Amino acid sequence: MADPEQTISQLHASALGQLELADTIEAVEAVRVDALGRKGKLNEISKEFGKLTPGERKHIGKLLNTVKQDLEARLEARKAALETVALDARLASEWIDLTTPAPGVRPGHLHPVTQVQRELEELFVSLGFAVLDGPEVESEYYNFDALNIPADHPARDMQDTFWLKDGRLLRTHTSPVQVRGLEMLGPPLKMIAPGRVFRNEEVDPSHEHTFYQLEGMMVDRDVSVAHLIYFMKTLLSAIFHREVTVRLRPGFFPFVEPGFELDIQCLICGGTGCPVCKQSGWVELLPCGLVHPSVLRYGGVDPEEWSGFAFGLGLTRLAMMRYAIDDIRLFASGDLRFLKQF
Ligand code: PHE
């Protein structure tokens, strides 16, 4: 056997050198197995003890134990140091700030059409109008007959209708609330009736089968076209907060006489023509007129004594003009990227 004392101090030095380089807990463990393990280098030396004198055995045994204890302590210290570094790194990357306020409920908001509707309701309430509601599933009587549109009248074809099996229908406009309002309130009255209406027609950028209107009616003594124009002007300047170019032309609706179409210059294209205005530069926004005597009679009101005006504002179309939305189908798309903009 070579000088055991020298072998031990060499093994000691080389183990310390390896330990110096070990930068993970696994590497420290490998140094331990290599030096101190059951088949480790220092244990190999004990196997040679038989060849030594009792005096040497005692001396070398003591040295071996000292070296083993020293290595054991240094391995432990190195391991502890590496564990601290690993823990610090984890704490730095995984910390939780318990004082950060919770994100809370993300607030939503009203649909753009509802926003416009609420705004107009407020305006009309301030002008003394009542806000009425009517059924979306309506009778043929209120949707057509009581509005002076008998069964064989071609005007029925103007509004393609969703019929129910029981003979009722999805209202094609908010005008049925005119007669319901006359019956309920009696004259004099000022009312609006915003709501959802349905038409069985092809869907395209400017037509939906489901959309919103806002009906308005005023019945009093001596109501004339002058009153109608005053309220329409008030309405438009409140809606757009700016000058809009309008035109009034005769319009035919069986429930008004005279009847008008109030068009506004298309605010999407500025009047040069686009899909929303069907390339005409104008958008029909406000059909209106003086309430037809027959409609007053259907509502139980004497047309000799009372007269009135009525209008049917396209709420959905108004929202399109207000926000420059060029495709009506976006409103009911449920697309949050669209809705979040309003
Ligand atoms: N109800 C009609 C439509 O939907 C609009 C209208 C309302 C016209 C009131 C005149 C008066 O087309």
The pLDDT assigned to 184 comes to: 96
Instruction: Give the tens place of pLDDT for each residue, 132-157.
Output: 999 999 999 999 999 999 888 877 77
Q: What is the mean pLDDT of residues 111-137?
A: 95
The pLDDT assigned to 158 comes to: 66
Site to substitute for ligand 1 among 173, 199, 296, most atoms within 8 A of C-beta = 173
Site to substitute for ligand 1 among 199, 217, 253, most atoms within 8 A of C-beta = 253
Ligand 1 midpoint to CA 257 (Å): 12
Q: Is 173 in the pocket of ligand 1 (CB under 6 A)?
A: yes
The pLDDT assigned to 283 comes to: 87
Ligand 1 midpoint to CA 43 (Å): 104
Judged against a pLDDT cut of 60, whether residue 1 lies above it is answered with no
The pLDDT assigned to 206 comes to: 83
**Cα torsion through 309, 313, 185, 231, rounded to 10:** -50
Q: What is the mean pLDDT of residues 224-240?
A: 87
Residue 49 confidence class, pLDDT cut points 50, 70, 90: confident
Question: Which residue has the least CA distance to atom 6 on ligand 1?
Answer: 312
Site to substitute for ligand 1 among 144, 171, 175, 316, most atoms within 8 A of C-beta = 175
